[in-house]
């Protein structure tokens, strides 16, 4: 039989080779990982499939081969490479290295453990074996412990008396026995300690550990019980809080804890930061050079730790951002801090956030304050690990038992990631200050490691967990049941206490929840004396003394009712709290010399950060004064009215203002909305909810759950700009384009989402699109709008808060707003007087009332397409007079002109219906045409696919465009497979027959004409056409077609109007007030265009004007876009956009600018539909004239909300920092340096260009904010850069 297997091996070998040469799915690149590794041993789904085939081949080669051949024709076909791949060295296809800013020397890691020095494979093997042995021994130990429990239960049963609140596990008799034997072990004089003693002491440590572990989160009860048991075993009333614990003696008494921790007596040695056991020896080594947590008496410089403290203090003092005085002044720095932080820590006012979200908020805030940068997704995972993984603090023997140091190793990897994260910011002020403080005594990499240590050990677990505890406290009296009664609003709540004095609230929480339960010192004569007084035993020298902060903070001799949470304690008592390794009143003392010697340097910082984060996650607080009491009685609908919004009667305490004047950027609207919801929300009782649920079809139910899941995962860790990796050039450059109905071509391979295991998403798609779920339109309606809000609150908790909360109600006024500020405002145009006939489906202007029509918003295009019974076709146009008042609505497919009640004899219902119909047609048309098809499937798709396919990864333009294409492939692909497909979300939400929907898409795509953004608004609505003065200002639209580009330099930043007369300025200001898009849209365009133009100037030099060219003053710079790949890129760009060619540089700049704007500004404008769905009666997607109510059905409302929450999946913000993508000149001596085309000067110019771009965007943002602060301004946020994302989301 043997020879057969040899043959099969050969076949398998051939197969593997064949597979590796032919299919790109074998390889998986991780471009972000510093080394740009391209590997082919990652278990992706495809590799698993192939391996299964291989195994089959080995056992049954004919079958295996057949399956393989079939698979290459079907399943693997989509991954076929265009050229054979050099499978032994796929690195030849790898990315040219883009050197990031990190100095590699700073990443130096110490080898702290034996296995660190082993080569990779050996190390894995070693760890594996060690893990097996450790795990095995761990089980044996647990077995012994079980025997021990039985032993204690039998022989020591009656030893203890019960005390209240004693922890349930382990049994009291086990505890008592452990303590008793332990005490004997500890007081054994050193000379009597033999190996037997040692074994026994380890065993007892294990026993205490097992006692401690289940009570780790809140060990207070355990500590109390242990003290009680101990006193009892000695036959005494009490032992003044001394008790055997861990590997030494615990101290519970406030008096002693304070004395030991704050002693300046040099004989009291501070010991490693521990909970009761010695820390792992690797941690000691890891900290060796810096001594932060441990003054080492045997070190050549015993007071080395003072230097470390100095470095940390200076580092903290030099943070580039601070939360202190955040609201005192609006200086630029504060605003920048605030802007960034409010973005990365979005308010979570509806429900208690989950713990991980809070942890990450604390970590990201701290890291941002320290560096001004953000954490990558990997680093955020590392932070969570630092918070949750205490294993580096645990002794070696214990770590060994946990699968051979398995968890500990993960901990060190996290520290390494943070070291790299800090190294990215080595040039920042904080680290520079730290380097300086080190004064040459520590090397730079040592300082970075010290800072990393302080961050990972100090700034991770304690503040994160404490904040989560505070937030939990804030929500503890907010549950649905409590809030159900109206009276509940009158009672004082935790939130009220919090805002009354956040610092005290935090301190009091920290008193009861000491995250760090114990701090250790080593015993000296004085301590031994204390112990002897109370227990009668002699303590050997240098025994570990574990000062229990937990107990000290609840000492009844110091605090009145110590177990009660009371932030209104007297200042004296609050000053006694001893959580930050020192007494509060001493830590906050003015005189730095007199502060406790080892108090936590992060004290102030952590309180500020916790205050900030807690206020972001706090429920909203409503002041309980007379007036607000009254306004609470108002019924829900009335509160929905516009009036109560603009001038909210409810006084809202703002999180950070501390009662002082309000910071201009506080998002009041967000709070107002939540309050509105809180009051309008009725409690949806179980029966009604069931009733609604039962009316849903399977598809809707499934997709509600799925969207909930997806959102939860996504929002917990949304991508940040720093996560955008440099482009990569894997063999999969082909992108694997796929043709889909309604969407032309979409790519299926995304360099930004190389999900190892995308099986589940595919599966979900398959299930959703399967025939299980026939398309059914269910009619059941909600009983009331209140129910709709309650439903939304319950099932769509992640519904984003609107940027503009005013789309409520359906007054005619609001309709005018909708036409001039809403998502379809770019379709509103002036009617030219002489115009006889309008387009295809609009009313003839002969109707008398329309004589006065001055503007129209024509949303009739969709009336061409048939809908399912019993719905009405879409299509309506709204007419406005010169004062922009709504005067009539034309319903195109009935050819009917509806007028407001006063003008027509029809029923009021008709008018309401017409308005609703027009709004809904606008939503349908804008969403399907402008958003899905134009922005997603044409423009963003083109930018992404063409740049990825035809520009090599290291091409500057490809890198430049990268942020604007981030994850676009994934987004568009999922839109193609779950939105626009048959039975997809769009098909279900809107009423079209699927055939008609396909036709509609074809129609839109066929009618697509490339326009630059300024032309998105009709000519006669532009700013220049609406200034009285006929001053010719051609360059208002700084764009190409037919214009001389040089002029544009004169009018950057919208300073256009300054030269014009005052009246002109007023005129245009007036117009902007009525039609803000006329200003915002070209202004945004100009900023982006300038950014692109400057980019090309840096790369290819300034464009020579014709004369200079003739004179022959051509510079030596590269010729503009002349390389074959560049030419190809341009040619390919034209195809999907329907352009005949791009004749000049200015044209190219325009096209690229337009595509970038589509992904950012336009996408925000047409894609942010959540605002319009906030009032459930505002807009709909299916029209029924035959029903009395216009409200969407339960099913349809749910589907609309699914679409909305999907759009809430955030992409990195446009204002975030992606400067890491700008290639640098190599500083390291790695071999593959960048091609020398990049010079220092160019790097600097690129950075400058980038910062200028950001600066201009910030100015824009401020300008828009300023406009909104003016009285009676209706918000228009579509082109506000602070809301934009840098690439398209759903
Ligand atoms: C709620 C928040 C915090 C609490 C309750 C807390 C508590 C403590 C405690 C009890 C110690 C003494 C530990 C020991 O020596 O065994 C300590 C030390 C320390 N903490 Fe914090 N800490 C907090 C936040 C921070 C933050 C945000 C940072 C810094 C960035 C920080 C940096 C440090 C450092 C560097 C030490 C070592 C000081 C030394 O050994 O001399 N801590 N902290
Ligand atoms: Fe979108």
Give the ligand with the smallest distance to the CA of 595. Answer: 1
The pLDDT score that the predictor gives to residue 673 is 60
Query: Which of the 8 DSSP states describes residue 874?
Result: P
744 three-state secondary structure:
strand
Q: Which two tokens stand for residue 825?
A: 């405002």
Q: Which two tokens stand for residue 1141?
A: 């060619």
Ligand 1 centroid to 171 CA: how many Å?
A: 34
The pLDDT score that the predictor gives to residue 645 is 36
Q: Which two tokens stand for residue 391?
A: 């294993």
Mark the ranges of the chain whose per-residue pLDDT is less than 50.
1, 30-37, 91-101, 329, 624-666, 731-732, 756-757, 836-841, 843, 1029-1061, 1109-1110, 1112-1116, 1228-1236
Ligand 2 centroid to 1214 CA: how many Å?
A: 15
φ, ψ for residue 1223, nearest 5 deg: -65, 140
pLDDT digits (tens, 9 = 90+) for 211-229: 888 777 778 888 888 888 8
The pLDDT score that the predictor gives to residue 961 is 93
480 CB-near residues (< 8 Å, 6+ apart):
683
- In terms of Cα–Cα distance, which of 496, 492, 512 is closest to 564? 512
Query: How many CA atoms, within 13 angstroms, populate the side-chain half-sphere of residue 1100?
Result: 17
Is residue 419 within 8 Å of 454, Cβ to Cβ?
A: no
Positive/negative CA dihedral, 834, 837, 840, 844:
positive
Tell me, using a 6 A CB cutoff, whether residue 363 lines ligand 1: no
Is residue 98 within 8 Å of 1234, Cβ to Cβ?
A: yes
- In terms of Cα–Cα distance, which of 961, 982, 972, 473 is closest to 724? 961
Ligand 1 centroid to 834 CA: how many Å?
A: 77
- Tally: H helices and E strands in the chain: 49, 14
839 CB-near residues (< 8 Å, 6+ apart):
858, 860
Ligand 2 centroid to 82 CA: how many Å?
A: 32
Tell me, using a 6 A CB cutoff, whether residue 463 lines ligand 1: yes
Is residue 523 within 8 Å of 542, Cβ to Cβ?
A: yes
Tell me, using a 6 A CB cutoff, whether residue 601 lines ligand 1: yes
Q: Find the length of the chain.
A: 1290
Ligand 2 centroid to 930 CA: how many Å?
A: 10
| CA atoms of 566 and 549, how far apart (whole Å) | 18
User: Which atom, in ligand 1's list, is nearest to the CA of 549?
Assistant: 10
- In terms of Cα–Cα distance, which of 1164, 829, 794, 1204 is closest to 985? 1204
The pLDDT score that the predictor gives to residue 653 is 36
Cis, peptide link before residue 193, omega less than 30° from 0: no
| CA atoms of 739 and 314, how far apart (whole Å) | 59
Cis, peptide link before residue 870, omega less than 30° from 0: yes
Give the ligand with the smallest distance to the CA of 967. Answer: 2
Is residue 451 within 8 Å of 315, Cβ to Cβ?
A: yes
Tell me, using a 6 A CB cutoff, whether residue 606 lines ligand 1: yes
523 CB-near residues (< 8 Å, 6+ apart):
248, 249, 531, 539, 541, 542, 543, 544, 545
The pLDDT score that the predictor gives to residue 934 is 93
The pLDDT score that the predictor gives to residue 837 is 44
pLDDT digits (tens, 9 = 90+) for 816-871: 999 999 999 999 988 876 554 444 445 455 566 677 788 889 888 888 898 888 88
β pairing state of 876-880 and 855-859: antiparallel
> Which pTM value belongs to this model?
0.84
Tell me, using a 6 A CB cutoff, whether residue 185 lines ligand 1: no
| CA atoms of 747 and 958, how far apart (whole Å) | 17
- In terms of Cα–Cα distance, which of 928, 930, 929 is closest to 979? 928
Which residue stretches of 1140-1218 are H helix?
1145-1157, 1163-1167, 1194-1207
End-to-end CA distance of the chain: 58
Tell me, using a 6 A CB cutoff, whether residue 581 lines ligand 1: yes
Helix pair 406-423, 355-371: axis angle to 10 deg: 40
The best mutation among 468, 581, 604 to test binding of ligand 1, ranked by most ligand atoms within 8 Å of the C-beta, falls on: 581
**Residue-wise DSSP of 1210-1263:** ---BTTS--GGGS-----S--S-PPPTT--HHHHHHHHHHHHHHHHHHHHHHHH
| CA atoms of 498 and 470, how far apart (whole Å) | 9
Give the ligand with the smallest distance to the CA of 458. Answer: 1
Tell me, using a 6 A CB cutoff, whether residue 515 lines ligand 1: yes
| CA atoms of 69 and 48, how far apart (whole Å) | 16
| CA atoms of 649 and 626, how far apart (whole Å) | 11
| CA atoms of 84 and 24, how far apart (whole Å) | 10
The pLDDT score that the predictor gives to residue 819 is 92
707 CB-near residues (< 8 Å, 6+ apart):
796, 1202, 1205, 1206
Is residue 509 within 8 Å of 578, Cβ to Cβ?
A: no
Give the ligand with the smallest distance to the CA of 934. Answer: 2
């Amino acid at each position: 039989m043997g020879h057969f297997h040899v043959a099969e091996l050969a076949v398998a070998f051939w197969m593997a080779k064949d597979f590796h040469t032919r299919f790109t799915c074998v390889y998986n690149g991780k471009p972000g990982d510093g080394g740009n590794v391209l590997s082919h041993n990652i278990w992706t789904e495809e590799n698993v499939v192939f391996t299964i085939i291989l195994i089959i081949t080995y056992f049954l080669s004919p079958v295996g081969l057949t399956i393989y051949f079939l698979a290459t024709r079907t399943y693997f076909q989509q991954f076929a490479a265009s050229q054979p791949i050099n499978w032994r060295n796929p690195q030849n296809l790898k990315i040219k290295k883009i050197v990031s800013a990190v100095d590699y020397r700073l990443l130096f890691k110490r080898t702290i453990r034996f296995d660190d020095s082993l080569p990779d494979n050996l190390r894995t093997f070693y760890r594996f074996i060690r893990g097996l042995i450790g795990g095995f021994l761990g089980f044996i130990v647990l077995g012994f412990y079980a025997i021990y429990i039985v032993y204690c239960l039998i022989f020591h049963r009656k030893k203890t008396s019960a005390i209240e609140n004693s922890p349930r596990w382990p049994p009291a008799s086990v505890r008592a026995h452990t303590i008793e034997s332990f005490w004997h072990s500890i007081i054994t004089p050193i000379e009597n300690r033999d190996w037997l003693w040692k074994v026994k002491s380890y065993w007892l440590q294990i026993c205490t550990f097992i006692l401690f572990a289940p009570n780790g989160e809140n060990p207070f009860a355990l500590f109390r019980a242990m003290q009680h048991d101990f006193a009892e075993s000695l036959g005494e009333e009490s032992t003044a809080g001394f008790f055997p614990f861990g590997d030494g003696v615990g101290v519970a008494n406030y008096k002693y804890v304070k004395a030991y921790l704050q002693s300046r007596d040099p004989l009291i040695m501070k010991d490693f930061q521990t909970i009761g056991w010695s820390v792992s020896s690797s941690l000691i080594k890891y900290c060796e050079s810096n001594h932060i947590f441990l003054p080492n008496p045997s070190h050549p410089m015993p007071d080395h730790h003072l230097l470390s403290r100095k470095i940390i203090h200076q580092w903290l003092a030099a943070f580039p951002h601070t939360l202190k005085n955040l609201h005192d002044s609006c200086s630029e720095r504060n605003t920048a801090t605030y802007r960034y932080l409010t973005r990365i820590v979005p308010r979570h006012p509806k429900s208690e956030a989950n713990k991980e979200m809070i942890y990450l908020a604390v970590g990201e805030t701290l890291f941002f304050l320290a560096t001004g940068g953000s954490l990558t997704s990997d680093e955020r995972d590392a932070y969570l690990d630092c918070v949750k993984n205490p294993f580096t603090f645990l002794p070696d023997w214990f770590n060994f038992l946990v699968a051979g140091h398995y968890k500990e190793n993960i901990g060190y990897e996290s520290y390494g990631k943070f070291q790299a994260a800090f190294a990215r910011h080595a040039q920042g002020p904080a680290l520079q200050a730290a380097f300086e403080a080190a004064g040459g005594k520590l090397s730079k990499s040592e300082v970075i490691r010290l800072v990393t240590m302080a961050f990972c050990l100090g700034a991770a677990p304690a503040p994160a967990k404490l904040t989560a505890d505070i937030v939990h406290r804030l929500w503890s009296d907010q549950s649905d049941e409590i809030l159900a009664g109206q009276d509940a609003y009158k009672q004082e709540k935790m939130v009220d206490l919090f805002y009354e004095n956040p610092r005290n609230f935090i301190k009091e929480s920290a008193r009861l929840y000491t995250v760090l339960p114990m701090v250790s010192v080593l015993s000296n004569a004085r301590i031994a004396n204390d112990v002897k007084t109370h227990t009668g035993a002699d303590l050997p020298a240098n025994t570990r003394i574990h000062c229990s902060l937990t107990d000290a903070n609840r000492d009844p001799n110091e605090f009145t009712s110590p177990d009660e949470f009371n932030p209104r304690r007297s200042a004296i008592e609050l000053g006694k709290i001893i959580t930050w390794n020192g007494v509060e009143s001493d830590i906050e003392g003015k005189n730095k010399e007199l502060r406790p010697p080892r108090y936590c340097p992060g004290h102030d910082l952590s309180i500020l950060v916790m205050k900030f984060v807690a206020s972001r996650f706090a429920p909203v607080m409503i002041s309980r004064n007379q007036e607000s009491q009254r306004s609470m009685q108002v019924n829900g609908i009335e509160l929905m009215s516009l009036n109560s919004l603009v001038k909210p009667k409810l006084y809202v305490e703002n999180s950070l203002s501390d009662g002082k004047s309000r910071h201009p950027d506080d998002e009041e609207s967000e709070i107002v909305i939540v309050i509105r919801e809180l009051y309008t929300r009725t409690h949806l009782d179980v029966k009604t909810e069931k009733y609604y649920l039962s009316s849903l079809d399977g598809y809707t139910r499934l997709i509600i759950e799925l969207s909930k899941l997806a959102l939860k995962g996504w929002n917990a860790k949304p991508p940040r700009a720093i996560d955008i990796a440099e482009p990569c050039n894997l063999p999969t450059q082909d992108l694997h384009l796929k043709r889909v109905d309604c969407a032309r071509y979409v790519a299926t391979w995304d360099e930004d989402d190389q999900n190892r295991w995308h099986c589940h998403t595919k599966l979900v798609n398959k299930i959703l699109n399967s025939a299980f779920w026939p398309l059914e339109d269910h009619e059941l309606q909600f009983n009331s709008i209140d129910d709709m809000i309650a439903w939304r609150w319950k099932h769509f908790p992640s519904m984003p808060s609107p940027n503009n909360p005013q789309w409520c109600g359906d007054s005619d006024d609001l309709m005018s707003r909708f036409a001039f500020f809403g998502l379809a405002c770019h379709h509103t145009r002036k009617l030219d007087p002489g115009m006889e006939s309008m387009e295809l489906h609009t009313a003839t202007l002969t109707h008398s009332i329309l004589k006065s029509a001055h503007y129209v918003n024509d949303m009739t295009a969709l009336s061409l397409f048939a809908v399912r019974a019993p719905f009405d076709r879409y299509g309506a146009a709204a007419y406005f007079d010169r004062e922009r008042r709504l005067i009539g609505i034309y319903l195109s497919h009935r050819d009917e002109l509806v007028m407001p009640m006063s003008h027509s004899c029809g029923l009021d219902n008709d008018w309401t219906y017409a308005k609703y119909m027009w709004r809904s047609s606008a939503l349908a048309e804008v969403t399907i045409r402008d958003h899905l098809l134009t922005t997603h499937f044409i423009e963003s798709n083109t930018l992404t696919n063409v740049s990825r396919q035809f520009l090599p990864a290291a091409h500057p333009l490809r890198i430049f465009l990268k942020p604007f294409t981030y994850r676009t492939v994934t987004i568009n692909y999922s839109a193609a497979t779950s939105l626009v497909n048959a039975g997809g979300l769009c098909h279900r939400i809107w009423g079209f027959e699927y055939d008609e929907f396909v036709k509609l898409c074809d129609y839109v795509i066929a009618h697509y004409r490339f326009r630059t953004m300024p032309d998105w608004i009709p000519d006669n609505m532009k700013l220049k056409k609406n200034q009285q003065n006929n001053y010719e200002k051609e360059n208002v639209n700084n764009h190409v077609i037919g214009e001389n580009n040089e002029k544009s330099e004169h009018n950057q930043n919208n300073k256009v109007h300054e030269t014009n007369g005052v009246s002109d300025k007023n005129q245009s200001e007036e117009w902007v007030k009525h039609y803000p898009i006329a200003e915002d849209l070209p202004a945004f365009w100009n900023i982006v265009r300038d950014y692109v133009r400057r980019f090309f100037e840096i790369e290819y030099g300034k464009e020579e004007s014709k004369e200079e060219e003739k004179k022959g003053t051509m510079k030596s710079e590269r010729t503009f876009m002349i390389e074959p790949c560049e030419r190809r890129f341009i040619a390919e760009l034209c195809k999907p956009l329907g352009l005949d060619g791009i004749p000049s540089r200015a044209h190219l700049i325009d096209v690229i600018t337009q595509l970038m704007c589509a992904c950012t500004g336009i996408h925000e404008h047409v894609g942010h539909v959540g605002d319009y769905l906030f009032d459930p009666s505002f807009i709909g997607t299916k029209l029924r004239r035959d029903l009395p109510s216009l409200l969407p059905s339960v099913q349809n409302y749910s589907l609309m909300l699914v679409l909305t929450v999907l759009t809430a999946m955030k992409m990195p913000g446009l204002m975030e920092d992606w400067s890491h993508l700008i290639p640098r000149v190599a500083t390291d001596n790695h071999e593959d340096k960048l091609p020398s085309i990049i010079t220092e000067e160019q790097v600097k110019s690129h950075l400058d260009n980038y910062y200028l771009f950001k600066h201009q965007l910030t100015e824009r943002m401020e300008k828009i904010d300023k406009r909104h602060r003016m009285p009676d301004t209706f918000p228009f946020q579509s082109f506000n850069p602070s809301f934009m994302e840098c690439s398209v989301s759903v």
